[in-house]
Amino acid sequence: MCSLTTSPPRIAVATVHLIVRTVRPTGTACKGRSSGSVDRDRVWSWCRLRRRVSRPGWQQTTRSGPKAVLARFGNDPYIAYIQNRTINSLKLGNSGRRARSGGLMPLFHTTMFTNDPPGASFKSIGAAWSFEKRSGLHLGTPEQVHQRSSELLKERGHAPTFNSGFEGGTTFFDEEILIRSRSRSGAMQALNLLVSAAAVLDGSIEACPEPFSIELRQVGTPARTKSFIGRIGLLDACELANRVSRDPPMTYALHKLALSYQSSSPNLMDLHPGYSPRAFGVQNDPIYHVYLANAVTLAYSAIEELGLEIRASQKNPSKMPDGTWNPKVKVDLEARLHDSGIDVSGTCIWTLRGPKTQIEKDRRPQSAGKPSWSRGVVRDVYMQLINALSLASWLRSSTTTHRFTDTTRSLTAYDAHNVQSLARYLIMQKFGFWSAYTK
C-alpha cells in the first residue's frame, strides 16, 4: 500500500527533518542525554517519526562490525542493520576512486551535514562520483567532547551537532557529505541529484536546499559563506542518487518530481487527516492554477520517465465503452510494473478532502475501500494502482497540460499531492526504498 504526501504553491515553510543550530532531533539523539541504556520504545518511535525503521538492508545478521563500537550492542535489529552498512561502507572506503592520471580524484564540499546514526564513516559509489563522509564517532569524556567540539567549530566556522543517548554509549558529531569526482561539473551533477533524491525520499522540499543554491568548492579552498544544512536522511539520499545515476532516464524522473515539489509542497502535517482537513480548497487566484497544474504535469512526467505511464491511443483506448479496462492496455501496463519490481495488486491512498470539486465530478476515483480515518470532510479512498495511474493520466491530459479550462480552475493542492505521491511511490518501490520507509 502506498501512503502519500502533498503540496500547493510554496506557501508554507517549516523544518520537517531539518536540523539547524536551534533544532535538534528529540528522543535518542539529543545533546545532553544519558550515555547509558535508553528506553527502546522511544528509540523505535524516534525512528518511525523520521521514517528510519526497516530501511534498505535492515536485517538480522551475525556479521561483526567494528569491535570498538558496534560489538557491544547485542542482537538489536537496528544495530544489526548499522553493522551491516558500516562493514559495507568500510569495504567501499578501502578501494578509493582514482582519476585517469592515477591519483585520487578531488573532493568537494557540499555544506550538507548528516546526523544519521551511528556516525561511522560512509562511502557510496555512483556512476561517475562517490559520496563520502568521515567518521564522527567520539567516545571521550565530557571534557574531550567539549575540546573536539571546539576544534570542529574552528574548522567549520559553525558549531557542530553532538548526538548521544544510544545504547552502549555511542556518541558522534555530525559530519559533512563530500563528493569525490573528476571535475567540478561532475560534482555539481552529483550534488543536484542528491538534493532531488532527498526531496523524493522526504516527499517534500521543506528540509532541502534550493537547487543551485549551494556553493560547491574543492576541499582545501576557502569558503565564501558559512551557510550550511544539518539534517538526517542524507545517507539514504546518497544511496538513492547513486542507484539512479546509472540510468539516465531515472535521473530525469528524480529531478522532475523534485521540481514538482518546488511548485507545490505544503507542510506535511497540513495533510494529516486530523489537522486542517479543508486547508487546501479551490482558489480563485490564477497563479495557484498555474503552480498546481505545473506540479501535476511534472509529477506525471516523472512517471513517464519510469516507463510506467498508460500507453493508449485513439485506436487503442485504455478503457472500453462500458468503462472496463482494455485488456491489451492493462496487460501491457501490468507487465511493465512487474518488470520494475512493483506489486501490481497494490493500492494507493487517494486524498479527497472537503466538498467535491469539478475534477472529482468529472472523473470519480474508483474506490477500493476506505481507510480508517476517512469520515466527514475527510473522504480519502484506497485505489488500485493501475486505476490511480489511469486517473493521474486523465488529470494530466485533460486538465493541466494544455490550454486551461474551467476544470483546471478547480485544481487543489490535493490533486497535485495525489499525483506526486503516486510518482514517489513508484520511484521508491523501483529502487527498493518503499517498504523500508513505511514499516
Task: Give kind and range of the element (H or E) at residue 229.
Answer: strand 229-231
Query: What pLDDT shows up at residue 74?
Result: 41
CA distance 238 to 249: 18
Whole-prediction pTM value?
A: 0.77
pLDDT digit string, tens, across residues 270-280: 999 988 777 89
C-alpha pair distances (Å), 41 with each of 37, 44, 70, 117:
12, 5, 20, 17
Query: Which residue is associated with the grid cell 567532547?
Result: 145
In the predicted model, is pLDDT for residue 71 greater than 70? no
User: DSSP letter string over 133-198?
Assistant: E---B----HHHHHHHHHHHHHHHSSPPPEE---TT---EE-EEEEEEESSHHHHHHHHHHHHHHH
Segment among 31-40, 219-228, 238-247, 408-417 with least mean pLDDT: 31-40
Query: What pLDDT shows up at residue 348?
Result: 93
C-alpha pair distances (Å), 372 with each of 86, 93, 172, 185:
39, 47, 41, 49
pLDDT digit string, tens, across residues 161-199: 998 876 666 789 999 999 999 999 999 999 999 999 999
Query: What pLDDT shows up at residue 275?
Result: 84
In the predicted model, is pLDDT for residue 268 greater than 70? yes
Please enumerate, as own/partner, the contacts of 35-41 that have beta carbons within 8 Å and a separation of 24 or more: 35/164, 35/165, 35/169, 35/171, 36/169, 37/167, 38/165, 38/166, 38/167, 40/76, 40/167
Q: What is the 3-state secondary structure (H, E, C) of 381-430?
A: EEEEHHHHHHHHHHHHHHHHCCCCCCCHHHCCHHHHHHHHHHHHHHHHHH
What's the one-letter identity of residue 351?
A: T
Q: How far apart are the first and last CA of the chain?
A: 11
Query: What pLDDT shows up at residue 62?
Result: 34
Check if the beta carbon of residue 24 is closer than 8 Å to that of residue 31: yes
In the predicted model, is pLDDT for residue 259 greater than 70? yes
CA angle 204, 377, 289 (to 5 degrees): 50
Helices first, then strands: H and E counts in the chain: 12, 10
124 CB-near residues (< 8 Å, 6+ apart): 89, 92, 130, 131, 235, 238, 239, 242
CA distance 257 to 245: 15
Q: What is the mean pLDDT of the chain?
A: 80
Check if the beta carbon of residue 293 is closer than 8 Å to that of residue 264: no
Domain boundaries, given as residue ranges, for the chain: 40-190+210-233, 267-438
